[in-house]
Amino acid sequence: MGNDWAEFSLLAKVLMVLKHGSFRVAAEQEHITQSCFSRATKIFHDQSGMRLYELGKDNRVLLNRVGVAFRAMIPLLFQLRDEIFAALHAIASGGIRKLRLGCETVVDPGLFQMACEIHKRYLPDCVIDPFSEDAEELVKEVRSGEIDGALVTLPLDLRELSVETIRHDPLVICLRSDDPLAAKAAVHPVELKGKRAILPHPQQHRAAYARLLELFAEIGIQFDDCSRASHPSGMQQLVLDGFGLALIREGTALYPGLTTRPIAGAQWTVDTVFIYHSEHHPKTIPPLARHLKQQVSAQTKSPAKILVETIAIPSLRTRPKHAVEHDGNGAQQLSLLDQVSQSVPTGVE
């Protein structure tokens, strides 16, 4: 039924033939008879209806496009199998009683909730200890082993870490609903000139802040006057209070009275990834990262559902910050103490 015939041992034998490029060499290298490899490839061809190769001179295996893809993709299936069995062995030995997960403040909180729910399905009795931090701090804590994994946004220095790309969200302009620009389907770059900007605090994510300024410069925009906020809800509040326009992730739950518009000609995205230490991590973390990516991909066809899921997530631990800051030029900077579950508005446009 379905692909039940595709057992791991059969796929492994087919893969060996494709990797060695010869039945004879595969038999010699793997110490398995050629007839065993022949049976495996015949079963694959008969059951799948797909040819992976043609035989050339000296019975060399010449891969077609399907064969090239098979050789590249099937090892991922074995890797996932090994990761799952490693997790099961760790659970069987009494491990993974607590998981420490981080979430960058600008990441869609619905993604964090989704990750928690997935792991709760794995281990209902596992305590999840959540943390909310700036991106660079989360990277340091994952690298040091202080936390087990985190959802962060690029760009970042992620050496020594494993990275699973979760989602690419378009960036859009956030503005008041009564702003004249809200009547347009898209905001043209020239219409942003002379407008005040509300930018994220550069200390939150220095690389992302620098890249944001580069993107604006590429379309000819340089903001002389700006306000700064260290949390997405703070940016929305400043927009609502009339201090300017902000750039936010498309799909963010909005305060009443706000709306979003794309920038004409700009295909900008915020890229969210799940990170964990490449060598030292709870064994359920790799399957969790893959499962999260798969579930997010399946839900991209239902954006309304994703919006609803941003409304309520477990409370995140935050480090204390000053409530209000001012830079040298008198520009107002907000550092909000709200936990993510409190900061996401219930009103969605």
Q: Give tens-digit pLDDT for 138-194.
A: 999 999 999 999 999 999 999 989 999 999 999 999 999 999 999 999 999 999 888
Give pLDDT, residue 302: 53
Domain finish residue from 74, 92, 110? 92
For residue 21, name the pLDDT band (cuts at 50, 70, 90): very high
Q: Give tens-digit pLDDT for 75-112.
A: 989 999 999 999 999 999 999 999 999 999 889 899 99
**pLDDT value at 341 more than 80:** no
Residue 208 CA to residue 154 CA, distance in Å, equals 7
Amino acid letter, 291: H
Domain finish residue from 48, 66, 92? 92
Residue 111 lies in a domain: yes
Domain finish residue from 92, 122, 147? 92
- Domain of 236 in residue numbering reads as 169-270+322-343
Q: Are 109 and 243 members of one domain?
A: no
Residue 254 lies in a domain: yes
Q: Give the pLDDT mean for 237-258.
A: 93
Q: Are 56 and 76 members of one domain?
A: yes
Best CA proximity match to 107, nearest among 348, 346, 287, 316: 316
Q: Are 72 and 191 members of one domain?
A: no
CA distances from 87 to 147, 173, 181 (A): 18, 43, 52
Give pLDDT, residue 145: 95
Residue 186 lies in a domain: yes
Residue 252 lies in a domain: yes
Q: Show Cβ contacts of residue 213 under 8 Å, excluding neighbours closer than 6 positions.
A: none
Give the CATH number, domain containing residue 255: 3.40.190.10
Q: Are 136 and 283 members of one domain?
A: yes
Please give the radius of gyration of the chain, using alpha carbons only, rounded to the nearest integer.
25
Residue 260 lies in a domain: yes
Residue 348 lies in a domain: no
Q: Which residue has the higher pLDDT, 340 or 289?
A: 289
Q: Are 289 and 159 members of one domain?
A: yes
Q: Are 147 and 203 members of one domain?
A: no
Cα 277 versus chain centre, distance: 16
Mean of per-residue pLDDT scores for the chain: 85
Residue 137 lies in a domain: yes
> What are residue 166's phi and psi, to 5 degrees?
-100, -45
Q: Are 190 and 266 members of one domain?
A: yes
Q: Give tens-digit pLDDT for 175-186.
A: 999 999 999 999
Q: Are 234 and 128 members of one domain?
A: no
Q: Give tens-digit pLDDT for 191-234.
A: 988 889 999 888 888 899 889 888 888 888 887 778 888 888 89
Q: Are 112 and 258 members of one domain?
A: no
Tokens 């997010």 sit at which residue?
A: 296
Residue 40: in which H helix or E strand, if any? helix 34-48
Q: Are 327 and 212 members of one domain?
A: yes
Number of domains in the chain: 3
Helix, coil or strand: residue 265: coil
Q: Are 37 and 86 members of one domain?
A: yes
Q: Are 75 and 215 members of one domain?
A: no
The token pair that represents 114 in the structure block: 């989704």
Residue 3 lies in a domain: no
